Chains A and B, each alone.
Chain A
Amino acid sequence: MSSVKFRLKANSQKAGPVGSTKGLSLFSLPALGWFVFFTIGPLVAMFYISTLNWRSIIGQSEPAGFSNYEKLFGSDVFYAALQTTAIQLGIMIPVMIPLAFMVGYYLTLKPRGHRVLRVILFTPGLISISATAMVFYAALGPQGLVNGLLEAIGLDDLTKPWLASADTALAMVIIVGLWQGIGYSGVLFAARLESVNKDLFEAAKLDGASEWRIMWRIAFPITVDFVGTLTMLQFLWTLFGSAGLILLLTRGGPGQTTTTLSLLIYQKAFFENDLGYSQAAGVVLFVIGLAGMILIRRLIRARD
């Protein structure tokens, strides 16, 4: 009985409902219209402004063809930012997603204190970026918690200003990103895993499978679509959204060591008064995001 239900659930996509489906699309028109008006328009504008020579928003603008792109692709700073972004994503995503999944699975086992744990684990999502930055500044600063602990256990030599040292700043940014992502995604995974029929886990346990096997051989395949979605989301959030936190923690420094592509966009627009150039970088970022999204989709579909 339960295995039939399982199969039905997994195939719910294939079984179509009775009746025409055209009417169903209408349900999404209000949302679609709203979305297009506010988002697609400005997106197109981003492409357009990237072809302008427009410095400050109250200044004049004039058409500039592809000169912003020429500047961009000829700039060392751009390639450095590209590399930094690649490192950031290359480390963060593969580490975060599996760990978050495990945290989520652990939560669904409802161990003792899981209610409290859920609230604590979601903390990174609850506190604003500025609060997060203030806290990590205090933890990683020259007289912060980390250095204080190192001194307390006698490892004085290892103390350093973690956020301000060229060799550790990027690592710190990645660690903060992981700190944020694992708990947050973990709670989201837990929510999704709740919807999975627990009978399946019970059955597997009776067959003698360990939690580890259940987690990866049963829970994971059932929710693989969601995992794919969340991976894609985290990829895009980090690619586009990490700039806020980096801005507050290190401002892209020291030097260029923590300047990612999205931070470059912000810098060029707000600090260096070069809107056209900034939007050109935005277009490049858009393309990278699109490519990444397609790639992740393909990978997930391959697992199906």
Chain B
Amino acid sequence: MNQDRKKMLFTSVASALVLTLVGCAGSGSPTSESSSSAGGDQSSESKVSEINVLSLYKKTGDVPEGAAINLAVDSFISSTGVSVNFTEAGENLGEEFEATVLAGQEADVVIVNLFDKSSGWLDAGATIAVNDLIAEWGLDSVIKESAIKEWTNSSGEVQGFPFQGFTWPVWYNMDLLAKAGITAAPQTMDQLIEATDALRAAGIGPMVVGGNDWSGNKLWLQFAQMFMDKTEAADVYSNGGFCASPNAMKGISEFVKARDAGVFVDGVEGYTADTMNAAYYAQDAAIMPAGSWAMSGAEPEIAAVTELGGLPVPSGAAYTKPTAYEGFTGVGFFITKKGAQKLSAVKDFILSFYQPDVIGKFVAEVNVVPATTNDISEYLAAASPLLGEAVSTMQTKVEFALMPDVYVGTHGDALTRASALAYGPGVSADQICKAADQAYN
């Protein structure tokens, strides 16, 4: 009896402790209990000596964006005298930020892209809406309207300041195509399959894509929405129901047809974005769907023979030209509840990034498509030629499909596993749509 009672005592004490913890954290807004700077309100703003930044961008070491970031941060420090505590978080930034919010110790500014985790922060009360600030800070004439729209949630609140955009075309190695006797990039599905046959006969890999990860997932979604208008696509991406949508099934069947015709390189289901890039750069494959971030890694010889275009469409599709993606949900600036207490310092920090020469550096050295309206032609000259092509001549060759990320949200991971399945040989459209629907389960 003695030991049983002891056991119960232990567990009840421990559980009482933990229950209070969970109760505290779960039921109320965590930041309301945070003991941040003593009496932090407007009056202490003038005494701000440091701001804390959590960033996906890296500043240290030999990284492409290093110079651009240092330019912005240094100009901020020298003009305001406020120091910057810059934490570079990697791919786990989402989890880390949320843990700090729970602890009441979050950063003031978060530099990250808009993805499933970060799109939930405004609703959870961890960050503030910036609709008014955009106008107040004079950024409404600087940031593109379409970019602001992408960062606006369904309640009309703008979640953060858009900074980086991207294009996501299909890259065609015209040299390799010529070797196979193809003189122009395919515009229709039939032409794509023709080119595939010719390329394979010439011993060249046709289209390479990271079947196993997000890159393959995006391409698969591009197929899936071929016959859907943007509204229907948004609905299916948000709620699932691929099997139930005849148009989605048409798109998936088109994917299966292409796969079975050998459009994708052998073993495509095992490729990732990294190995996809490696294969294209090594000229083992002639076609690759890749975003503007990949342009930094393309050597001049490859860039010279690459022409940018879109994913060919079949007849009867909802699009008349080959499709590509573009968007502005790349890196942007979130202001946290803590940052809202240091608004003028935060304003100066963020504005230092929107200076034309900083933006120019991002374009030239990181191959970023900025979300701003200023003229970047002089910087494009220093960037990869592919970037220049993407923002000019390519624009008329393609139509832009619906970028799925914002709609797919937290189902992204499960959906990626479903598309990984889809790239395997012999998998039927039925199996694929079932797996995709399961992601919404």
What residues make up the interface of A, taking CB atoms closer than 8 Å to B? 36-37, 40-42, 44-45, 48-49, 52, 54, 56-62, 75-77, 141-143, 147, 159-166, 251-257, 259, 267, 270-273
Contact = CB atoms under 8 A, between A and B. Distances in A.
Contact of B26 (A36, A60, A143): A60
B14 A41 contact: yes
B162 interface: no
B424 A49 contact: no
Contacts of B414: 267, 271-272
A273 B417 contact: no
12 contacts: A40-B11, A41-B17, A41-B18, A61-B22, A75-B441, A141-B275, A163-B270, A251-B413, A251-B417, A254-B212, A255-B435, A267-B413
A75 B211 CA distance: 27
Contact of A272 (B10, B95, B411): B411
B418 A255 contact: yes
Nearest to B435: A255
Given A251-B413, A255-B420, A44 B102 contact: no
A57 B211 contact: no
Interface stretch (B118-126, B148-156, B300-308): B118-126
Nearest to B116: A273
A161 B14 contact: no
Contact of A165 (B18, B123, B269, B441): B269
Interface string B115-156: 011001101111000000000000000000000000000000
B267 interface: yes
B257 to A, nearest CB: 20
A57 B99 contact: yes
A254 B101 contact: no
Please give me the 6 A-B residue pairs with the lowest Cβ-Cβ distance, nearest first: A161-B270, A253-B417, A61-B26, A255-B421, A41-B14, A142-B267
B427 A45 contact: no
A62 to B, nearest CB: 8
A44 B13 CA distance: 11
B282 to A, nearest CB: 10
Contacts of A57: 25, 98-99, 102
B95 A45 contact: no
A278 B47 CA distance: 44
A59 B120 contact: yes
Contacts of B102: 57-58
B212 A45 contact: no
A272 B417 CA distance: 13
Given A37-B14, A143-B275, A164-B269, A58 B124 contact: yes
B351 interface: no
B22 A48 contact: yes
A49 B117 CA distance: 21
Q: Which of B21, B99, B125, B270 has the most CB of A within 10 A?
A: B270
A7 B229 CA distance: 81
| Main secondary structure on B side of the interface with A | helix
Given A161-B270, A255-B420, A259-B417, 14 more contacts: A40-B11, A41-B14, A44-B19, A45-B15, A52-B26, A56-B98, A142-B267, A166-B424, A252-B417, A254-B269, A254-B424, A257-B421, A271-B410, A272-B411
B19 A48 contact: yes
Interface in B409-441: 410-414, 416-418, 420-421, 423-424, 427, 435, 438, 441
B30 interface: yes
A57 to B, nearest CB: 5
Contact of B438 (A41, A77, A147, A272): A77
A249 B275 CA distance: 15
Contacts of A165: 269-270, 424
B128 to A, nearest CB: 14
Contact of A142 (B14, B275, B418): B275
Contacts of A62: 27
B441 A76 contact: yes
B349 interface: no
Interface in B79-121: 95, 98-99, 101-102, 116-117, 120-121
A87 B115 CA distance: 35
B271 interface: yes
Contacts of B211: 164
A226 to B, nearest CB: 26
A270 B93 CA distance: 12
Nearest to B26: A61
A254 to B, nearest CB: 4
Contacts of A40: 10-11, 14
Interface string B263-285: 00011111100010000000000
A170 to B, nearest CB: 13
Nearest to A47: B15
Interface string B24-46: 01110010000000000000000
A98 B14 CA distance: 40
A207 B226 CA distance: 79
A272 B413 contact: yes
A161 B10 contact: no
Contacts of A44: 11, 14-15, 18-19
Contacts of A270: 95
B347 to A, nearest CB: 25
A77 B116 CA distance: 22
A105 to B, nearest CB: 38
